[in-house]
Amino acid sequence: MTKHILISGVPRAGKSTVSRLIAKRYGYQHISMDSVIAGFEQCFPETGVSSYVEPTPEASMRTVSRKMAPFLQAMIDSGEYDELDYGMVIDMYRLLPEDYVKYIDPEKCAAYYFVTADLTVEERLQMLKQYDTPNDYTFFDTEEKRRARCEEIVAHSRLLREQCARFGLPCYETSQDREAVLSRFVEGFGG
């Protein structure tokens, strides 16, 4: 098992849930890169790390991914967890498989992707409603804004799945039987 684990994918596909379960069960330090990215957006806009600057959601995803992947490798290389038996389990929405392959050492950090690519936009909207909580940024959005986000998420899911297939990275579809898929992943993780 590698020292560090990256759990990436789209919102409500289960990446944060899996990350927290792995951290609790196996002793990893859970890091939410989406919180780090929010900090960059607010405090260091000059870095260009922003989820909303580019003309399209996919362009924003590509920019954030390209800029944050080397940052992730620097975190991994910091040696912060070298003396411990465990490392970090990092969950992050905007990291494309192509940038994982280009910037991150797979000997130090394994990647797993969680998507909902098999859903229509309407089905994805129902899933969003089912798993959203008042703590989620989409919870208080209008129906129109939620639908637009779901269009983006379905497109991002398909892009992630296609890139995972191209680069031979594990990709888990959680559009059906989400809880069972997540449970099987966590149960099989330590083995």
Tokens of 55: 């003309």
Name 85's Cβ contacts closer than 8 Å, sequence gap at least 6.
27
pLDDT in tens, 33-66: 988 888 888 888 888 777 766 678 888 889 889 9
Is the separation of the CB atoms in 108 and 150 below 8 Å? no
Is the separation of the CB atoms in 133 and 39 below 8 Å? no
Please, what is the average pLDDT of the chain?
89
pTM confidence score: 0.90
Cβ-based neighbour number of residue 48 at 10 Å: 14
> What three-state secondary structure class fits 173?
strand
pLDDT in tens, 132-188: 777 777 777 888 888 888 898 899 999 999 999 999 999 999 988 989 999 999 998
Q: Which domains does the chain have, with CATH numbers?
A: 4-189 (3.40.50.300)
